[in-house]
Amino acid sequence: MKKLAHLVAFLVLLTPAMAQQKPQYSQYLFNNYLLNPALSGIENYTDVRMGTRRQWVGIEGAPVTYYVSGHTSLGMSDRNRPLGQTGKGFIPKTPVIGNRNTKFHKSRPHHGFGAMAQVDRTGPLSNTSLNATYAYHHPLSKRINMSVGVSSGLVQTRLDGNAIHLRNEGDPALQHGRLSQTNFDLGLGTWIYSDNFYVGFSAAQLLTEKMAKNENSAIAKQGLQPHYFATSGVRLRVRYDLSLEPSVMVKVAAPSPVSVDLNLKATYANRIWAGISYRHKDAVAALAGINLNYILDMGYSYDLTTSELSTASAGSHELILGIKLQNKGRLLCPQWLW
């Protein structure tokens, strides 16, 4: 069963429609920057994230993903940061809710810059991407802000033909040796946000022309597959130290089926959060995380597969580590990326 699932997944990945799918994440709630370049520099510190995902554990050659991302702001004001959020010392006390001033101040226009690198391996097929991002943030009102962003970079796809073993070794569609292809990548996004809601739209892999190709390779006969994301969430304050944050994400990557995620996250004392996510016809995920201090935070999720792969898969694991650099306000919990 494992070898059969491996072969089916590999053959699907070689089709023109599916060859350039972006990695799947459950912890994007913890780092929406992965999906939308408009979040570059949204916080008043340098936000560095490192993550890994092991999908469909138990299936030989199942996807394994690694990434690192970082973005920072230029010209941002921190006048609205909560007071007393970290207390004294490296490991802070339970935060106190409150603003530096009794009146909420409009955020200043500012710029954001960032970069991310991702490696996604599925059996003999691997994708490596490197992107730089830029965003401009501007207030629409006293409490509502809007940003627009752009991402550009390269995506390299490699196929290790030596790792493919079929009964018919003479298949002309496959060759031994290592084959590779490099594509330019372009992404756009916008993000409308306040202290209690957000709405975002983004598009990735918009360029489909190939920079390099091998005419004898099946993998070189298609370009990138465009992806479109729409996401929205609200923060509902249950009491002063507890909030509920429902959200939804819709992904369109035609001709693949539309993917819909429904999420619910609860945050206590700006320090601990837990939630559940349902991905239509794919998986149910349990998520949890903790802000250890004003520098380190971490999150973990486990996906229980609900698709036909559930008979062969033991689920998916995802781990993310966050580092807040130059966090002069000693913010324990992000102000805008809650």
Residue 224 is classified by DSSP as -
Q: What's the CA angle centered on 322, arms 260 and 184, to 5 degrees?
A: 60
Residue in the block written with tokens 């972006």: 22
**Backbone CA torsion sign across 227, 337, 133, 71:** negative
| pLDDT for the residue 105 | 61
Residue in the block written with tokens 């970082």: 70
- Do 150 and 188 meet the contact criterion of CB atoms below 8 Å apart? yes
Cis-peptide, bond into residue 95, ω within 30° of zero: no
- pLDDT tens digits for range 3-47: 444 444 444 444 443 445 788 899 898 899 999 999 999 999 999
| pLDDT for the residue 311 | 82
Question: How far is 136 from 156, CA to CA, in rounded Å?
Answer: 28
Question: How far is 42 from 136, CA to CA, in rounded Å?
Answer: 9
Please give the distance of CA 130 from its chain centroid, rounded to a whole number: 14
Minimum mean pLDDT among 23-32, 100-109, 326-335: which range? 100-109
| pLDDT for the residue 335 | 84
Amino acid at the residue 231 = T
- Do 134 and 150 meet the contact criterion of CB atoms below 8 Å apart? yes
Q: How confident is the model at residue 314 (pLDDT cuts 50, 70, 90)?
A: confident
- pLDDT tens digits for range 226-254: 999 999 999 999 998 999 999 999 999 98
**pLDDT of residue 62 exceeding 70:** yes
CA distances from 79 to 71, 103, 139, 145 (A): 20, 10, 14, 15
**pLDDT of residue 224 exceeding 90:** no
- Do 250 and 227 meet the contact criterion of CB atoms below 8 Å apart? no
**pLDDT of residue 177 exceeding 70:** no
Neighbours of 178 (CB within 10 A): 12
Write out the H or E segment, with its range, that includes residue 9.
Answer: helix 2-13
Minimum mean pLDDT among 94-103, 194-203, 238-247, 311-320: which range? 94-103
